[in-house]
Amino acid sequence: MSELPSIPEMAVNLAKDVSQWVRAGAPISPQELTQQRLGVCQACEVFQNDRCTKCGCYMKAKASMVTAKCPLDRWVK
């Protein structure tokens, strides 16, 4: 089982994603895009227990944020 990043590192990752999302007006992804992103995550080797072990994020939440990006750049642009 892969370990998550440190708590400070996860906090920085979350702050970057949320601040960018809020600056954009907090747009929610269409359900189809969210599901497509989650499918990519679920097939990924760093996805465990609904979280990405690369960034530490809960991917159900992150995948619904239009401005969010996969830390491994695997989501369709």
Location of structure tokens 């998550």: 4
Residue 17 lies in a domain: yes
- pLDDT score of 75: 95
Range of the domain at 40: 7-62
Taking residues 15-25, what's their average pLDDT? 97
pLDDT tens-digit map of 29-68? 999 999 999 999 999 999 999 999 999 999 999 999 999 9
- Position 48 in a domain: yes
Model pLDDT, residue 50: 95
Per-residue pLDDT, 20? 96
CA pair distance 42, 59, nearest whole angstrom: 9
Number of domains in the chain: 1
77 in a structural domain: no
